[in-house]
Amino acid sequence: MKTDPAGVLTGAHYLDGDFAAGEGAMAAGCRFVAGYPITPSTEVVERIARRFPMMGGTFIQMEDELASMAAVVGASWTGTKSMTVTSGPGFSLMMENIGLAAMMETPCVVVNVQRGGPSTGLPTMTGQADMMQARWGSHGDYELIAMSPKSPQETFDLMIDAFNISEIYRVPVLFMMDECVGHMTEKVIIPPAEEIEIVARKLTDKKPGEYWPYELNGGDIPEFARAGDGYHFHSTGLTHDYRGYPEMSAECQWDCVGHLVNKIHNNVDDIVRFEEEEIEGADVVVLTYGITSRVARLGIEMARDKGIKVGSIRLIVVWPFPEKRIRELAGKIKGFVVPEINLGQMVLEVERCAAGQAPAIGVPHPGGGVHDPNAIVEAIVGAAK
Amino acid sequence: MSAEAETQSAEAETQVEKREVQAEEHPVAPFIRMDRMPHIWCPTCGIGTVVKCYASALENLKLDLDKVAIVSGIGCTGRVAGYMNMDAFHTTHGRAVPFATGLKLGRPELNVTVFSGDGDLSGIGGNHFIHSARRHMDILVILVNNFIYAMTGGQNAPTTPLGANSSTMPFGNFEPPFNLPHLAASCGASYVARWTCLHIRRMTKAFEEGLERKGFRFIEIIAPCSTLYARRNRLGTGLNLLLFFVVFVEIQHGVDTREVGIAFQEKIICGKFVDDEEQTTFLENMNAHYERVLGDKYVSMPPEGGWIHE
Ligand SMILES: Cc1ncc(C[n+]2csc(CCOP(=O)(O)OP(=O)(O)O)c2C)c(N)n1
Ligand code: SF4
Ligand SMILES: [Mg+2]
């Protein structure tokens, strides 16, 4: 289906990543945004607050991030595509209702323009230290999808995919930017509306009275009914059966939570997304995401100048993790190098997937800046030994 | 079996049959998910009465139920949404109001009710409550005040009267409670009323008014919690609390809400305190403002929501 042209600012623009995120969301058909100001993400909602009134969208500045996330889940149940935007401290507050969105199977997008943490940390400076929080931040077992763009252009393009994939799998999609990508200005080409394919969640064609909100009918994803369409359905954050009715039993917990996890596991090959470069015959593979993928390029070239065969993988979808591919490569290479602006997060996942076949060497950085390429070279040299 | 016994057992069978034939549907059954009965509430709990009055209000108004949605938080009262036969959401503790805000703004034609407990709405959800009232958000908030966190076993609530006993104030509560009608009124609610579970007719009427008015409408219902509040404070059963209401309730419509705070086992002032039909709502204010400053460029969200479809 084609998107609504009202949200599409076709043309070539110079935009920073935050504005590109806002434009991407509007182009994707997002028409409800609730947010609370926080550096370095605020420009996203400022952009939207300015443009929404001209396209039938509603922005509301809520009293906090707990409320923003709750409002987004509520709005999504009307079928209106919904999003919220934040950074670390707000992301922590959103965890409660990200769990609710996962449990109620509510499509929505949460943008986190990462800064240095923990706590108030480095409000204006970059970080990538919320990657594990994205995966595990709300309590209980569930799966969701997280993405990480490397540039304003990719932020725009990927935002459309983020909304689409969230509609398809009925999960929150966490859009994990970082301050560098958020605040860097580059050329962004926005295509004409008729070239933007969007997806809307599958609305049930059952009649009211025949419909149950969590019935699977053989598929992986339950059909959606919008609040206000006459279905009189019930949805809850409690463990529930196919009717959306609470049931407190281990059997129902298996069905309910097992389903939340399986709907992603069963489709992981369609969801994972990464970019590879010079992987064939590489001795060392550098795995990156977000801004670090750009910083690492220099390090990789410097190592190649030293005669080391270096390949690279850039994660675009970060969660679910490309487990199969990492395991496959681990049997063929001497080691992985994982630079990231945290003290070791995704490197743990690489290590887990490599399962002892090849070491995963982290290149930590606590945030507030990006890596010195020499640190990456050093790690590559170490891995190649 | 003797002939006599046979006739007796045949009679008993017909009687049983007769009773089944005569089984009548409860008058509000169409509004309730009867497939979820029996409910979880204790005998002589007040919550069921509030649900009955809400259902009666829906029935009396003949509202199109397809366009009414209900949102609850967590707690004994939080279970209400789960029993209502309409689009219903049982959300997270304290977040019913912002969830309802999203529902309303995502599909402005919906008539949204928040139905939850005192702890949920004025404790953990207190910040959302005051801001929603301040913005004149278009929702009806029904708060069942049983003076306690019931679901979790009778802990102190922001509504527990001074001196009352709770499991976390085992020697009596020394924190002053909220005066909820005053809180709502001072933050900007367009409609504020308080009734108890004794006032079936008045409560129903208030719900009818609440469902029909616009803006942030707040109705507090004082309800007995027999199992925890009444028992812990040696006040008898839910029925005894109702008897207490008979004696101690004073109806004072339009009274200054500063006067309606509640002390332990003292008078409870009920009535309709605020009813401002002139007040404009969040959506009205937003639409009017953008029309004024943006003119023809302004495109408001359609009543059926901002969803994009073929
Ligand atoms: C974030 C969070 N904290 C605590 C709880 C535990 N909890 C469940 S219900 C409740 C209190 C509910 O009290 P109230 O709103 O007055 O409802 P009642 O049971 O009295 O009707 C609490 C603290 C929870 N579910 N979620
Ligand atoms: S614990 Fe109290 S509030 Fe909860 S159902 Fe029982 S009587 Fe009602
Ligand atoms: Mg209570």
Domains A5-195 and A274-384 share a fold: yes
Would you say residue A67 has pLDDT above 70?
yes
Q: Quick one: CA dihedral A45, A48, A50, A52, positive or negative?
A: negative
Q: Do B306 and A57 touch (CB under 8 A)?
A: yes
What does residue A108 show for φ and ψ, rounded to 5 degrees? Answer: -170, 160
Cα A368 to Cα B152: distance, rounded to the nearest angstrom: 44
CA distances from B190 to B141, B193, B281 (A): 11, 10, 9
Q: pLDDT for A193-223, tens place per residue? A: 999 999 999 899 999 999 999 999 889 999 9
Q: pLDDT for A273-283, tens place per residue? A: 999 999 999 99
Average pLDDT over residues B58-83: 98
Q: pLDDT for A7-24, tens place per residue? A: 999 999 999 999 999 999
- The per-residue pLDDT for B1 is 44
Residue nearest to atom 5 of ligand 2 (CA): B41
Q: Which residues surround ligand 3, an ion (CB under 5 A)?
A: B 117-119, 146, 150
Q: Would you say A86 and A36 are in contact if contact means Cβ atoms under 8 Å apart?
A: yes
CATH 3.40.50.970 is the classification of domain B27-278: yes
CA distances from B265 to B145, B182, B203 (A): 14, 20, 21
- The per-residue pLDDT for B7 is 53
Contacts of B58 in chain A (CB under 8 A): none
* Preceding peptide of A40 cis, ω within 30°: yes
Would you say residue B12 has pLDDT above 60?
no
Cβ of B145 closer than 6 Å to ligand 2, yes or no, is: no
Cα B310 to Cα B303: distance, rounded to the nearest angstrom: 18
Q: Would you say A173 and A110 are in contact if contact means Cβ atoms under 8 Å apart?
A: yes
Contacts of B92 in chain A (CB under 8 A): 70, 96-97, 99-100, 237
Average pLDDT over residues B23-36: 91
Cα B276 to Cα A232: distance, rounded to the nearest angstrom: 31
Q: pLDDT for B178-213, tens place per residue? A: 999 999 999 999 999 999 999 999 999 999 999 999
Instruction: Sketch the domain layout of chain A as residue ranges.
Output: 5-195, 274-384
Average pLDDT over residues B290-305: 98
Contacts of B296 in chain A (CB under 8 A): none
For residue B9, name the pLDDT band (cuts at 50, 70, 90).
low
Question: What ipTM, to 2 d.p.?
Answer: 0.98
Which class is domain A274-384?
alpha beta
Indicate the average pLDDT of chain A: 98
- Contacts of B15 by beta carbon, 8 Å cutoff, 6+ apart: none
Relative orientation angle of helices A373-384 and A291-305, to the nearest 10 degrees: 60
Contacts of A232 in chain B (CB under 8 A): 65-66, 85-88
For residue B25, name the pLDDT band (cuts at 50, 70, 90).
confident
Cβ of B270 closer than 6 Å to ligand 2, yes or no, is: no
Minimal Cβ distance to B102: which of A57, A82, A233: A82
Residue nearest to atom 5 of ligand 1 (CA): B93
- Do you know the residue count of chain A? 385
- Asked if A319 is an interface residue toward chain B (Cβ–Cβ < 8 A), one would say no
CATH numeric code, A5-195? 3.40.50.970
- The per-residue pLDDT for B310 is 80
- Cβ under 8 Å to B: A residues 25-64: 29, 31-32, 34, 53-58, 60, 62-64
Would you say residue A152 has pLDDT above 80?
yes
Q: How far is the CA of B84 from the centre of ligand 2 (A)?
A: 18
Cα A339 to Cα A364: distance, rounded to the nearest angstrom: 6
* Closest ligand 2 atom to B226 CA: 7
Would you say residue B14 has pLDDT above 90?
no
